[in-house]
Amino acid sequence: MKTILAFFGLIVLTVNSYGQNLSSPNSELELNFELNSDGTPVYALQYKGEEVIAESKLGLELVDDDKSLMDGFEVKDSSTSTFDETWKPVWGEQSEIRSHYNELAVTLEQPEQDRYIIIRFRLFDEGLGFRYEFPQQDNLVYFVIKEEHTEFAMTGDHTAFWIPGDYDSQEYDYTTSKLSEISGLFDDALTGNASQEQFAKTGVQTSLMMKSDNGLYINLHEAALKDYSLMNLNLDESSLTFKSWLTPDAIGNKGYLQAPAVSPWRTVMVSDDATNILASNMNLNLNEPNKLEDTSWIKPIKYMGVWWEMITGKSTWNYTDDLPSVKLGETDYSKTTPNGKHAANTEHVKKYIDFASKHGFDALLVEGWNEGWEDWFGKSKDYVFDFVTPYPDFDVEEIHDYAASKNIEMMMHHETSGAIRNYERHMDTAYQFMNKYGYTSVKSGYVGDIIPRGERHYGQWAINHFLYAVQKAADYKIMVNAHEAVRPTGLRRTYPNLIGNESARGTEFQAFGGSKPNHVTILPFTRLIGGPMDYTPGIFEMDISKLNPDNNSHVNSTIANQLALYVTMYSPLQMAADLPEHYEQFMDAFQFIKDVAIDWDESHYIEAEPGEYITVARKAKGSSSWFIGNVNGTTPRKTKLKLDFLEKGKTYEATIYADAKDAHYKTNPQAYKISTKKITNKSTLRLNSAAGGGFAISIVEK
Ligand code: NOJ
Ligand code: CA
């Protein structure tokens, strides 16, 4: 410990400073922590001797507390430890996960206030996690956060893959630019999703992926976001320093804490190889172990849905166009005129069940089955849905019996339209209804402004609700896939019935004007760091006007790229999102969707470059079969794919679904070529990926 002399006005004070270093298990990362001269905690991070985070401040500003938890700290205690364990996820990219880190916990006291906090650092081989802890004590009981002041000082003008900071939505296309260009490009980056409120034109969301000019891949995110507000990052352009910016509540406060409490983990991943970012389990390892005793009812799901026809505008969720507005319980739907486009009707649903059953799917989602869609976005949305009243043409009992006879589980849909209080009022009866009719999973949704007004999708209040819905679902043995909820931060480890989230720009945007062709080469580096996405791949008809003449959207992807997504976008929940009649036109390509596994023993990240390409190989759980996916950005690309991860001495047959020579995401998206080949672990495959294309390979032992 060194002693530094500091001047405060005329008085000379002796301030205890303190410095400590911590290394990662492989010694490649080094963390420095110290208190600066005014007792402000600061940290820095090096990777292989190169600075990744320059000296950056830590602290929290409190409401009605002049001192705040910012400075005037002295080190009361510090301890280091090592942790190394291997655990088994209920489902995942691999059947065993190692969690290995060195830890430094520093207890910091503000002597005048007679209170203390702990800052805990965990250094893994792939990166750093740290959090604030507020132990139970007399002089820090309840407190309100005005702002968290965690800094991440960048050491250069890195290239960033970013979406605008927002309190309510992550459904943006990514912009790739230098950090210094963010504010200039900000308004353009809002395109297509300008309805939500942004906090600053230099604000971005996490998980934020960056690449330095020296070829370092750096990722900033958070883990275990619970009972706290989401962290956006605001860039100080002059110093290239990111500063945490929490999501406010309706009156502008950013968090209400009662000790004992902890903040989420703030994470920095770094590597000189992009595949290490994809392979990292650090985010999961910073979450608590599984809290559910019985997990036998939690299963990965491959599903279809009465869905894409509504998203494209071919059909509707609502039953009638008659009504200017609907009040639940006061509308007799059987007296209204059906609009003839209501997809969730018994006969139509049965056709989907037949198709899904014939091709070996587990489940079928049906949206628009329940009353209220005529005004789901409107003024009365706080009482428009009760989640238990089907439209007159949806016979829930008949559909359930029919699905059961065909070995298909029905997937429930709860669109809350952001009316969280209404959902909580109805939650028990809604889950009981699901138990009664054999629904084992629910897709929930939070479209539009949160009710009560002024709350945000990413504020502490809504975040508490999202977890409450998952915990309560577990009581009823129900799996949850929440759309428009907060982006995941690894909570699936603690609550493995959280099997999916959207919380990013999913396939639906391909029918709302299209997404950038390289979008899917970025998502695994950003949104997927925190957990799986219900991306809803598998679109084979790219010209949306064929479904709805009024919709000119084009799906910016080739069919081979759509197939690859089942491997590159890891999720225990995979949808075949297109209509049965479109699959019927390409049954040979559809075979890959039928075959591909949804739970894995091993995953190998073969090559990757954010924005350009990703190639992943995964071994199906409990089987010797492998599946490989490659997604490609806009530059056509050749891959020399070594298969050395296959088991030595075995012979396999590979079925390769590749872009045809003249394939292109825009001009020729349906051109693919299927071939088969005998292979061993000594084989190398040479493959071409078109612009917006890719390839998918299934490998079976012979
Ligand atoms: C938005 C969701 O992302 C989409 O999947 C769903 O169909 C609609 N909301 C309606 O709930
Ligand atoms: Ca959505």
SS (H, E, C) 346-392: HHHHHHHHHHHHHCCCCEEEECCCECCHHHCCCCCHHHCCCCCCECC
Task: Identify the pLDDT of residue 3.
Answer: 31
Q: Is 149 in the pocket of ligand 1 (CB under 6 A)?
A: no
Position 295 in a domain: no
Q: What is the pLDDT of residue 197?
A: 72
Q: Output the residue whose Cα is nearest ligand 1's atom 3.
A: 483
Residues 340 and 471 in one domain: yes
Q: Which residues surround ligand 2, an ion (CB under 5 A)?
A: 483
Q: Are residues 420 and 512 in the same domain?
A: no
Question: Is residue 445 within 6 Å of ligand 1 at its C-beta?
Answer: yes
d(CA 634, CA 522): 13
For residue 427, the CA-to-ligand 1 centroid distance in Å is 19
Answer whether 523's CB lies under 8 Å from 570's CB. no
- C-alpha 283/C-alpha 446 separation (Å) is 25
- Nearest alpha carbon to residue 657 among 683, 701, 694: 694
In this structure, are 496 and 518 located in the same domain?
A: no
Which protein residue's CA is at the shortest distance from atom 6 of ligand 1?
A: 445
Is 508 a pocket residue for ligand 1 (Cβ < 6 Å)?
Answer: yes
Angle between helices 420-437 and 460-475 (to 10 degrees): 20
Among protein residues, the one with the nearest Cα to ligand 1's atom 10 is: 415
Q: Are 188 and 336 found together in one domain?
A: no
Decide if 620 is inside a domain. Answer: yes
Rg (CA), the chain: 26
For position 381, what pLDDT does the model report?
Answer: 81
Residue 474 lies in a domain: yes
Whether 97 is covered by a domain: the verdict is yes
3-state secondary structure of 591: helix
Of 483, 507, 515, the one to substitute when testing ligand 1's pocket (max ligand atoms within 8 A of C-beta) is 483
Separation between Cα atoms, residue 601 and residue 97, nearest integer Å: 10
Residues 344 and 271 in one domain: no
Domain boundary residue, one of 482, 501, 520 = 501
Full residue range of the structural domain in which residue 658 is found: 504-571+579-702
For residue 651, tell me if it sits in a domain: yes
Q: How many domains does the chain have?
A: 3
Q: Decide if 292 is inside a domain.
A: no
502 lines ligand 1 (CB under 6 A): yes
480 and 559 together in one domain: no
| 486 and 602 assigned to the same domain | no
Last residue of a domain, one of 471, 486, 501: 501
Query: Are residues 179 and 161 in contact, defined by beta-carbon separation less than 8 angstroms?
Result: no
- What are the pLDDT digits (tens) for 272-324? 999 999 999 999 999 999 999 999 999 999 999 999 999 999 999 999 998 87
For ligand 1, the distance from its centroid to the CA atom of residue 438, given in whole angstroms, is 22
> 235 with 139, same domain?
yes
pLDDT in tens, 185-240: 999 998 766 556 778 889 999 999 999 999 999 999 999 999 999 999 999 999 99
Rounded to an integer, the average pLDDT of 346-361 is 98
Residue 629 contacts residue 567 (beta carbons within 8 Å): yes
Residues 158 and 277 in one domain: yes
User: From the CA of 445, how far away is ligand 1's center (Å)?
Assistant: 6
Give the type of residue at 241.
Answer: T
Nearest ligand to residue 577 Cα? 1
Q: Please, what's the b/e burial string for 547-556 (b: 16 or more CB within 10 A of its CB; e: otherwise)?
A: bbeebebbbb
Please report the pLDDT score of residue 12 as a whole number.
32
In a domain, residue 21? The reply is yes
Ligand 1 centre to CA of 497 (Å) is 20
Residue 10 has pLDDT above 80, yes or no: no
Distance 435 CA to ligand 2 centre (A): 26
Count the Cβ atoms, other than its own, within 10 Å of residue 388. 16
Least confident piece of the model among 14-23, 116-125, 424-433: 14-23
Whichever domain contains 241, its CATH number is 2.70.98.10
Strand, coil or helix: 481: strand
Say whether 83 sits in a helix, a strand or coil. Answer: strand
* Higher pLDDT, residue 667 or 1: 667
Ligand 1 site-directed mutation target among 415, 417, 442, most atoms within 8 Å of CB: 415
Q: What is the mean pLDDT of the chain?
A: 95
Per-residue confidence (pLDDT) for residue 378, from 0 to 100: 75
* Distance of CA 666 from the midpoint of ligand 2 (Å): 24
Residue 331 — pLDDT band, cuts 50, 70, 90? Answer: confident
Q: Is residue 701's pLDDT more than 90?
A: yes
Residue 294: inside a domain:
no
Domain end residue (candidates: 501, 535, 561): 501
Same domain, 531 and 418: no
Catalytic residue status for 609 = no
- Determine the Cα–Cα distance for residues 478 and 2; give it in Å rounded to an integer: 56
For residue 317, which atom of ligand 1 is closest to its CA?
10
Q: How far is CA 293 from CA 296, 297, 299, 434, in A?
A: 9, 11, 15, 21
Ligand 1 atom nearest residue 367's Cα: 7
* pLDDT tier, 2 (very low <50, low <70, confident <90, very high otherwise): very low
* Minimum-distance ligand 1 atom for the alpha carbon of 502: 3
Question: How many angstroms does the Cα of residue 447 sit away from the middle of ligand 2?
Answer: 7
pLDDT band at 1 (very low <50, low <70, confident <90, very high): very low
Predicted model pTM: 0.96
Write the CATH number for 514: 3.20.20.70
pLDDT, one tens digit per residue, over 582-634 is 999 999 999 999 999 999 999 999 999 999 999 999 999 999 999 999 999 99
| Residue 632 Rama label (left phi>0; alpha psi -120 to 50; beta) | beta
Is residue 29 located within the same domain as residue 149? yes
- CB of 447 within 6 A of ligand 1: the answer is yes
pLDDT of residue 193: 61
The predicted structure's pLDDT at residue 102? 98
Contact assessment for residue 142 and residue 43, using Cβ atoms and an 8 Å cutoff = no
pLDDT tens-digit series, residues 408-464? 999 999 999 999 999 999 999 999 999 999 999 999 999 999 999 899 999 999 999
- 474/512 same-domain check: no
User: pLDDT at position 18, please?
Assistant: 60
Give the model's pLDDT for residue 220. 99
Ligand 1 binding pocket mutation candidate from 377, 416, 447 (most atoms within 8 A of CB): 447
pLDDT at res. 196: 61
Find the 367 Cα to ligand 2 centroid distance in Å.
Answer: 13
- Taking the CA of 372 as reference, the closest ligand is 1
Evaluate: CB of 534 within 6 angstroms of ligand 1.
Answer: no
What is the C-alpha separation between 16 and 112, in angstroms, rounded?
15
Is the distance from the beta carbon of residue 483 to the nearest atom of ligand 1 less than 6 Å?
yes
Mutate to test the pocket of ligand 1, among 367, 375, 502, 535 (most ligand atoms within 8 A of CB): 367
Say which of 133, 508, 541, 653 is annotated catalytic: 508
